[in-house]
Chain A
Amino acid sequence: DSGVTQTPKHLITATGQRVTLRCSPRSGDLSVYWYQQSLDQGLQFLIQYYNGEERAKGNILERFSAQQFPDLHSELNLSSLELGDSALYFCASSMRGTGFLSSGANVLTFGAGSRLTVL
């Protein structure tokens, strides 16, 4: 158990629908990252939050949005779903935002992922 909790583990839905994925970071971590991994592909960075504020954006579609709440858990909202959105969505947490060189502070700890299937 990495300490990063993601729910749901599996989700099957239809095109055009909206889903919400949830992530609770490891205790003490302030930063949450979301990544998308399509079948047999690498990890694509979507977005990062640090202590409730958006810190960095990657290749996140406009149909997707995220937020980090005061208790530091984060939600990724995916709307108007398309077949191509089927993927594993990973959340990772770190103690700080990056840019700090102290060892251990900015390594990413991943959750087990949420597998989204859009039919």
Chain B
Amino acid sequence: GQQLNQSPQSMFIQEGEDVSMNCTSSSIFNTWLWYKQDPGEGPVLLIALYKAGELTSNGRLTAQFGITRKDSFLNISASIPSDVGIYFCAADSGTYKYIFGTGTRLKVLA
């Protein structure tokens, strides 16, 4: 079945550093979403991407929909302590169900 490979699985970074994470698949998708989840909370949408090649920013966050439609990446610039959490990618191919990546656990060292 369809699967999203998200990497890295976890990362520790220093405050102020930039962060990159990505999701890849062997399947083609027509929507990519990036979410952040704080402990014990529901995921919150960060960025939505709808077209291959699309590059979208939301404050310090930037995400791109891969040109092959099989991948997406998320960058966080100048990380701050509140960026701590789990970041999930999600993708839909029009099959009426979103699948989620396994998550990237981000920890920021002050």
Selected interface stretch from A11-19, A61-69, A73-81, A94-102? A94-102
The 8 Å CB contact of B97, one of A98, A107, A115, is A98
Q: In residues 24-49 of chain B, which contact A (Cβ within 8 Å)?
A: 30-31, 33, 35, 40-45, 48
Whether A113 lies near B41 (C-beta < 8 A) is yes
CB within 8 Å of A: which residues of B? 30-31, 33, 35, 40-45, 48, 50, 88, 90, 92, 94-103
Q: How many A-B residue pairs have CB under 8 A?
A: 70
CB within 8 Å of B: which residues of A? 2, 4, 33, 35, 41-45, 48, 50, 55-56, 58, 90, 92, 97-99, 101, 103-104, 106-113, 115
- Compute how far the CA of A90 lies from the CA of B44 in the bound complex, rounded to whole angstroms: 12
- Compute how far the CA of A103 lies from the CA of B54 in the bound complex, rounded to whole angstroms: 12
> Residue of B at shortest CB range from A102?
B50
Whether A108 lies near B96 (C-beta < 8 A) is no
Which chain A positions have C-beta within 8 A of B30?
101
Which chain B positions have C-beta within 8 A of A45?
97-100
Whether A98 lies near B92 (C-beta < 8 A) is yes
B6 to chain A, nearest CB (A): 8
- Compute how far the CA of A106 lies from the CA of B49 in the bound complex, rounded to whole angstroms: 11
Whether A42 lies near B42 (C-beta < 8 A) is no
Whether B97 lies near A43 (C-beta < 8 A) is no
Whether A98 lies near B31 (C-beta < 8 A) is yes
Which chain B positions have C-beta within 8 A of A2?
42, 44
Whether B48 lies near A107 (C-beta < 8 A) is yes
- Compute how far the CA of A110 lies from the CA of B97 in the bound complex, rounded to whole angstroms: 14
Whether A48 lies near B101 (C-beta < 8 A) is no
Whether A98 lies near B96 (C-beta < 8 A) is yes
Whether B98 lies near A98 (C-beta < 8 A) is yes
Whether A108 lies near B102 (C-beta < 8 A) is no
